[in-house]
Structure 1
Amino acid sequence: MQVNINGIDTRYVLSNEGGGPWLTFIHQLGGDLSVWDQLAGYFRDDFTVLRYDVRGHGATGVPDKPFSVADLSRDLATLLDALGAPHTHLVGMSMGGMVAQQFALDHPSRIDTLTLADTSAGTAPENRAVWDQRAATARREGMASLVPATLSRWLTPDFQAAHPEAVEQIREVLQHTSPAGYALACEALRDFNVQERLNEIRLPTLTVAGRHDTGTPPAATEFIAKSIEGAQYELLDAAHLAPIEQSHRFAALLETFLETRV
């Protein structure tokens, strides 16, 4: 399905077989809504599951000017308005976790629970250049040049060897991401920082990190958990895409977390 959100044609998939509470998933940089296929299938009997392609990704349009994570938060609010969802359980991974944090600060009354996976609350000054380099590489060389190093950060060698079909789907999405959209998102993440505001979040929060995540070390996610009162922190045997690599364990954690708050 497509809907125009803040001037950008946006793809979304709604699975509401169960007709239950809303549960929204936000994907990683260089991903799209398909990364949540398995988890959406797991929860759709009990929840109204929403997935969408963030601007510049998948089948959603690429803007012609820079945007911020705050803009991505506004996109989500507008999408929920368009679909008639007053509030939702919210799950964000990596870039999606940054959008979710911003949304929690911008629209706390619209979140039932907050789940943040493999994410950080901001980029340290010494790491800003990394985002600039990735953006420049995408624009200059295209996405193919970024694929090998990205997959090595995202998934452990054991998972890649055991699940080649899943890895190939993730690779295809990454390789076909718009270089311009990817670069603009890199620059948005470079400028994102809500570290000093995390204590404003007063929501039931689950945080999940991958033990082998080199791109966003577990300490970054643990910092978020320590900064949000009452937040739960879980460490999984995975790299950066922990909810995908450890999908059964993540689903069980999320199900238990949601059951206590629905």
Structure 2
Amino acid sequence: MPSIKVNNCNFEYELAGKGRDIVFIHGEIHGMQYWEHQIKEFSRDFRCLTYNRRGHKGTEWTDYGFSLVNQAKDLEALIKELGIERPVIVALAFGTTVAVQYAIDNPDKVAGMVLGAWSELHDAPRYMEVWRAASERVAPVLEHEGREAMIDLLRREGGHNIYRVIPKQEGPFREKVIQMMASHPLEHYKRGMLEFGHSVPNLVPRFSQLDIPVLGLCGADDPYLDCPETLANMKNFKEAPSIPGAARYVNWQKPDEFNAAVRPFIEGCA
């Protein structure tokens, strides 16, 4: 996997395909691997960039820089250095806040945006107590007992008492989510993710003023559903029908349905 150093951090990334540009941004304690089906599908017709955000597996650990503003600067630097031009940005969960901050800062450099499972955008503060409680359970286990012990904890309690976004139904997909969520540096669970989350302001008023095509969608079983009325005043926003049988990781869990919902939108972005 190639890497590139920008904004004083070394980022793991993937750039695939040719054509107009799409940038994919993962959420918090997530990873670029869950865009696998989108990269395979859209790189046939577009040039697709995805990367592991600051603090996450595969990207260099830094002791600073986790704020939303700085992570938007990370994105800006990656786009510049890799020659990405006026992309459609596809983001999930807390990754949507990075995408939106970038769009607010660079409204003429975004062709359109797909916001998946985007409740963090309108309700970031309520996640903080949940995250803090989860970190108090998870970080000591990782620190003192090791990563396998942390994975065992998530297998027992994930989706129930810790990280409600982990699917409750046993099976290969649940295990993939657990492995992803347990893969990051210890300090990110202890500090990085909380620093990032606490830095997210109310982005909706400024974002709503932008004249950018925006598509929102989520899984019908997502424990944190979108609230499209919060963007009702945005000129070119629309919320797609929720996808049955999918939860937080709608793009990973139901890739064919997700891709079919977003392809016409991406193709229509000038």
| TM-score normalized by the length of structure 2 | 0.85
* Pairs aligned (count): 252
With over 3 angstroms needed to count, the CA separation of the structure-2 counterparts of 1:177 and 1:209, relative to structure 1, is: same
Which residue pairs with 1:5 in the alignment? Answer: 6
Matched, 1:258 2:249: no
With over 3 angstroms needed to count, the CA separation of the structure-2 counterparts of 1:66 and 1:82, relative to structure 1, is: closer
| Aligned equivalents of 1:126, 1:82: Cα separation in 2 | 35
C-alpha distance after superposition, 1:151-200 (max 9, x if no partner) = 7524363xx54xx1x44333222212123124412331233121332222
Query: Counterpart of 2:197 in 1: which secondary structure?
Result: helix
| Aligned equivalents of 1:169, 1:228: Cα separation in 2 | 36
Identity %: 22
The CA deviation at 1:124 is 5.8
| Aligned equivalents of 2:105, 2:34: Cα separation in 1 | 26
| Aligned equivalents of 2:60, 2:258: Cα separation in 1 | 30
- Picking from 162, 168, 176, the partner of 1:169 is 176
| Aligned equivalents of 1:126, 1:172: Cα separation in 2 | 25
| Aligned equivalents of 1:70, 1:42: Cα separation in 2 | 31
Matched, 1:155 2:162: no
Which residue pairs with 2:76 in the alignment? Answer: 77
| Aligned equivalents of 1:63, 1:223: Cα separation in 2 | 37
Larger CA deviation: 106-115 vs 44-53: 106-115
The CA deviation at 1:30 is 1.6
Letter aligned with residue 14 of structure 1: L
| TM-score normalized by the length of structure 1 | 0.87
Unaligned runs of 5+ in 1: none
Which residue pairs with 2:147 in the alignment? Answer: none
Matched, 1:226 2:232: yes
Which residue pairs with 2:129 in the alignment? Answer: 129
8 A Cα contact 2:32 2:50, kept in partner: yes
8 A Cα contact 1:15 1:44, kept in partner: yes
> Where do 1:1-262 residues align within 5 Å?
1-16=2-17, 19-65=18-64, 67-119=66-118, 120-123=120-123, 125=125, 127-142=127-142, 143-144=150-151, 145-146=153-154, 148-149=158-159, 152-155=164-167, 157=169, 161=171, 164=172, 166-182=173-189, 183-193=191-201, 194-214=203-223, 216-219=224-227, 222-234=228-240, 235-237=242-244, 238-262=246-270
The CA deviation at 1:28 is 1.9
The CA deviation at 1:29 is 1.5
| Aligned equivalents of 1:67, 1:174: Cα separation in 2 | 18
Root-mean-square deviation (CA, aligned residues, Å) is: 2.2
